Each structure stands twice: as C-alpha cells, then as structure tokens.
Chain A
Amino acid sequence: MMRRGEIEGLLRDAAPQALAVLARRCGDFADAEDAIQEAMLEASSQWPARGVPESPVGWLVHVASRRLTDRLRGDSARRRREQLAADQQQQPALGADEISARDDSLALIFMCCHPALTSASAIALTLRAVGGLSTAEIAAAFLVPEATMAQRISRAKQTIKAAGATFAMPVGEEREQRLRPVLRVLYLIFNEGYLSSRGEQLGRPDLAAEAIRLTRALRAALPNDPEVSGLLALMLLNEARRLARTGTGGSLISLADQDRSLWDRELIEEGVELIASCWGRGAIGEYQLQAAIAAAHDQSAGYAETDWREILALYGLLERLSKSPMVGLNRAIAAAMVDGPEAGLALLEPLADSLADHHRLHATRAHLLELAGDQPAAIEEFERAARGTNSLPEQRYLQTQAARLRAARHEDL
C-alpha cells in the first residue's frame, strides 16, 4: 500500500492534468476547478484504502465529471447537462494524447494568470490549480486564514468567468502578451519563498521550490522561449545562494559578506548552462539579463574578484529594457565597483526624482558614501533607509550597518 505522502504527490501531479482535460470538455474553468477539488478529496479518502487507480488522471476526470453532472440540476441547466453527457459518450475514455497534451497544461497556467486578475489572486489560483497545493497550504504560505484564501480563489475564478475567458491556448502575438503575466506570477511566487525568511513551519510549502517546479514545467512546454529559460535560470542562480544569504535568526547577509562555500554548485552549474544555451537565441529579455548578472556573481570567487565591468554593461542593457528605476540603483553600485564610488554617486543623482524618498535609494547611497569615506553621511542614509523599509530583516540589516559605522567612529575618536 502507498503511503499518504506518496498519494499526495501523485495527486498533485495528476490534478492539474485532470483539471485541464475537464475544463476543456465542459468549457467552464470555475466549475471544473470546483469539481476537481471534490474529486481530490474523494481520492485522498479512497486511494489509501482501495489502492491507486491505474490511471489517476482518468479517475479524477471521471469522478469530477460525475460531480459536475450532479451539480447541473434544474431546468435552466438541462441543456448543458445533456450536452455534457453527450460529450462524455463521445469521449468515454481518455486518449493518450489528451493526458499528455502540453497545450492543456499551458492553457491552464495562462488561465490562472489571466490579465484580469490581481497578482495576489493569480498567485493563489496558480498555486492551487497548477501547483496542486491545498487551500490550507496556500493560506499558510501567505499567513492568512484558510477561509480568506478560499474566498480569494473563489473570487479569482469568478473574475476570470466575468472576463469571458475561454479555456483555450492563446496563439501568436496574444500568446506572447499573455506569457508576460505568467512569468511575472511565477517570479513573484519565487520571491515570496526566497525573500521571506520566516523559517520552516509545519504545513508551510516551500514557495521557491514550488515556483522552480512550475517554471520547469512551463519550460518543458515552451522549450524554445528564451525568456522562460531565462526566468528558470534566474531562479536557480538565486536559489543557489539561499543558504548563504541569511544568518542566525533570519538576519540578512549582503553579497559581499556571504560565505561562498555555502553556495549550491549544482544549481549554479545548471543555471549557468541554461542561460548560456538560451542567450542570443531570440530577443534578449529582462529575465535573461537578470540571470546573466546572477551568473556573473555566482561564478566569482569573491566580491572583489567579480567581473564588475560585465555586470555594469549588463545593467546598462537592462536599464534600457526595464521601466523599473531599481535597476539604476544596481547599475550605480556596479559603476562604483568599476570607476569608484564618486561615479556611482553621480549615477544616483538623476534617480532622486523618480525614486523620491524610496528606502532603496537611501540604502544604495549609504553604501556608496561609506565606500567614498563619508561616514557621517553614510550613517544618516542608512538610518533613513531603515525608517523607510517595509521588511523586518532589511530594517535590522540597515540599523546594524548604521550602528557598525557609529561604533567605528567612536573607536577612531
């Protein structure tokens, strides 16, 4: 008999495939998703005792179809019910192509990252419908009550329905446009896992690992899209540094001070190979550039030995593509490493308007002022940055930097 964990893993793989088949058959994604959830509940209570069916996907589709038919009661729904029954008679069993159809898995993720949804809704829906996570797990990941997350997912499905979305694979230019929010949602899921250092918690899924898993699946379906590969490479190259980027109690350790022996060589190797293989095959996009920058860092023996010239050039390219002024901050740091802190500080000047009082601007300026030897101004900027941040580990890091500089000044006096 299979253990519960194995069955859960099997269900997580099978459920998105079954959902894609059912959504295409019945044409209503929201109804199909509800029915698959019910079938999953049934599977987790039946399979441990009765054994796993030969085709888990087929079983889920069958049970969910029955649930769907049960639900479509009443005169107004009769026509739909009859249509569904007729469809099922035509398709009594699943064809092999139907289960493995990669277009289905793509159509599913495009649906969950529909442009009508907010990021938070798209993230929740993607994790459940494509990732196969339970509502409780997603709620735990984002530290909200399960009922709240259930409502968010339910509303997301209604929003998609109201937007008139159909379960079909977008083609041509539309596919290009629809791919952008998909990549962004996956990137946000990764960051939520990578950047939050809330520590291990029972029942809390590892969102970084989940984002990597989903991006791998997306890449399997779109192997020739360089931005999909670029995003996967970026995730792997960041994930490789995860152990080194936080110290005891979740304190942040800057790239300059990280113990590079803790970096995961296997992930770095895979990420570097990936970015090398997609680089230059098609248009260069933001994810490829960010991955190339991460690869340059990951391959350096130390902070001082880093190829800052290459990184500066890459940030120059990225700045032209990206609308985010944050890129300019990183470029200023790279410029400081190549041409000295004054050059970096000069690059910050024009950013003061667009970034106004943003804490990242102050943190970057603090760092460059320290390099330039202006400790009093650096202390003031670190403190301003600490007051502006919305992240606790970042605030502690910035306060510690200010305190470190103050202590050094006292020793000098």
Chain B
Amino acid sequence: MKFMLLQDYGGVENESVGPMSTWTPEEIEAHIAYQVELNAELAERGELVDAQGLTAPEQAKFVVHDGSGAPVITDGPFPEGKELLAGYRIVDVDSLERALEIAARGSAAPGPGGEAIRQRIEVREVMGIPGGDA
C-alpha cells in the first residue's frame, strides 16, 4: 500500500516554534539531518518511494483555464500561503499503521532547542488495485 504523507507550511502545532528564519544555523542543520536520516532509514527498509520539499509559497502560481483563450495565472504572495504544501513523502508499506508510525516520526522533527515541532502530517492512501478480495 502506498501512502502520501503531506505537510503544509502552517502545520506546526508547537506554538513556541517560530518561522525557520528565527532558528539558529545548528537548529536548522539538526532539523534537516533528522529528515535526511528518516529518509535513509525508509530507503534502507525498502519503503521509500519519493520524498521532496517544495519551494516557498511566495513562488507558487495558480493556473485556471477554461480551455480557450489565455489561462489565468495568479502569482503570490498569497494570504493563505500557510495552507500550501511544503513537502511530501510517498512510502510503500504493509499497513496503515506503519504509515502512521512514519508520519509520527516526521511530525516529531526537532526545532529550536531540539524540541519537537509537532508538524501536522496529512496521511492519504494512494489509489491502488482494488483490495479486500482474498
């Protein structure tokens, strides 16, 4: 079963954590090292399909088209920027429980003072073959 674990920019539930621009270089490094290590562990277990971070919401563009004429393209910054996707992991695991476990690990990534930032992770199953027959 494949799951997509999504996190958006505003999903940090630890209220004492400010934006990353206020962290020390060591804190940022520790945060990145934690994510890299988690990815390496998932790869070693044969579970990692993909993991990517996305550019900042300021660089996002919205496209709407009615099929004729010029598409409408909206540039940022957006007031709802915090709701935009920051990054994702796609994992291929044996159960929903394992996907939730990985999400929990991602959520507890360290922030200022090494404290868990409690990032909210959205867990969504990727559509696969119809299950539950056997």
A-side interface residues toward B, CB under 8 Å?
118-121, 142-145, 147-155, 184, 187-188, 191-192, 195-196, 324, 326, 358, 360, 389-395
B128: chain A residues within 8 A (beta carbon): 196, 390-391
> Residue B65 at the A interface, CB < 8 A?
no
B130 to chain A minimum Cβ distance, whole angstroms, is 4
B residues 46-62 touching A (CB-CB < 8 Å): 46-50
Given A151-B43, A395-B127, A144-B49 contact (CB < 8 Å) = yes
Q: Are A148 and B48 in contact (CB under 8 A)?
A: yes
B131 at interface, CB cutoff 8 A? yes
| Interface secondary structure of A, over-half rule | helix
A-B contact pairs, 8 of them (CB 8 A): A119-B94, A143-B49, A149-B46, A151-B43, A151-B46, A153-B46, A191-B134, A195-B129
Complex Cα–Cα for A360 and B92 (A): 24
> Chain A nearest CB: distance from B120 CB in Å?
23
Q: Please give me the 7 A-B residue pairs with the lowest Cβ-Cβ distance, nearest first.
A: A152-B46, A151-B46, A392-B127, A195-B129, A391-B130, A196-B129, A118-B94
Given A120-B94, A391-B127: A155 in contact with B45 (beta carbons within 8 A): yes
The yes or no answer to B80 lying at the interface (CB within 8 A) is no
Chain A residue numbers with a CB within 8 Å of B44 are: 151
**Number of cross-chain contacts by CB at 8 Å:** 66
In the assembled complex, the Cα of A156 lies from the Cα of B43 at a distance in Å of 14
| Given A120-B94, A390-B127, A392-B127: A358 and B45 interface contact (C-beta under 8 Å) | no
Given A152-B46, A195-B130, A196-B128, 9 further pairs, Cβ under 8 A: A144-B92, A148-B48, A150-B46, A151-B43, A151-B46, A152-B45, A155-B45, A192-B129, A326-B133
Please measure, in the bound complex, the distance between the C-alpha atom of A149 and the C-alpha atom of B48, giving whole angstroms: 9
Q: Is the CB of B131 within 8 A of A390?
A: yes
Q: Does B125 contact A (CB under 8 A)?
A: yes
Please name the residue on chain A nearest to B46 by beta carbon: A152
Inter-chain contact A360/B46, CB cutoff 8 Å:
no
- Given A145-B49, A390-B128, also A324-B134 (CB < 8 A): yes
The verdict on B79 contacting chain A, using a C-beta distance below 8 Å, is no
Most chain A Cβ neighbours within 10 Å, of B92, B128, B130: B130
The docked-state distance in angstroms from the alpha carbon of A100 to that of B32 is 55
Interface centre among B1, B49, B134 (most CB of A within 10 A): B134
Residues 93-134 of chain B, each 1 if its beta carbon lies under 8 Å from chain A, else 0: 010000000000000000000000000000001011111111
Contact partners of B46 in chain A: CB under 8 A: 121, 148-155
A135 vs chain B, min Cβ distance (A): 11
Distance to closest chain A CB from B42 (angstroms): 9
- Chain A residue with Cβ nearest B48: A148
> In the complex, which residue of chain B has the Cβ closest to the Cβ of A358?
B132
Chain A residues within an 8 Å CB radius of B48: 145, 148
Whole-angstrom CA separation of A361 from B83 in the bound complex: 35
CA distance A152 to B132 in the complex (A): 23
The CA of A231 and the CA of B49, in the complex, are separated in Å by 32
Neighbouring A residues of B134 by C-beta, 8 Å: 184, 187-188, 191, 324
Cα distance, A142 to B133, chains bound together (Å): 19
Chain A residues with CB under 8 A of B133:
191, 324, 326
B132 pairs with A191, CB closer than 8 A: no
Residues of B34-88 at the interface with A, using a CB-CB cut-off of 8 Å, are 43-50
- Decide: B43 and A147 in contact? CB cutoff 8 A: yes
Structural contact, B92 and A390, CB atoms closer than 8 A: no
Query: What is the chain B residue whose CB lies nearest that of A155?
Result: B46
Per-residue CB contact flags for chain B residues 6-46 toward chain A (1 = under 8 Å, else 0) read 00000000000000000000000000000000000001111
Supposing A119-B94, A148-B92, A151-B44 touch, asked if A390 and B130 sit within 8 A by C-beta, the answer is: yes
Shortest distance in angstroms between A396's beta carbon and chain B's nearest beta carbon? 10
Q: What's the least CB distance linking A114 to chain B, in Å?
A: 15
- Residues of B within 8 Å of A389, CB to CB, are 130
Least CB distance, B56 to chain A, in whole angstroms = 27
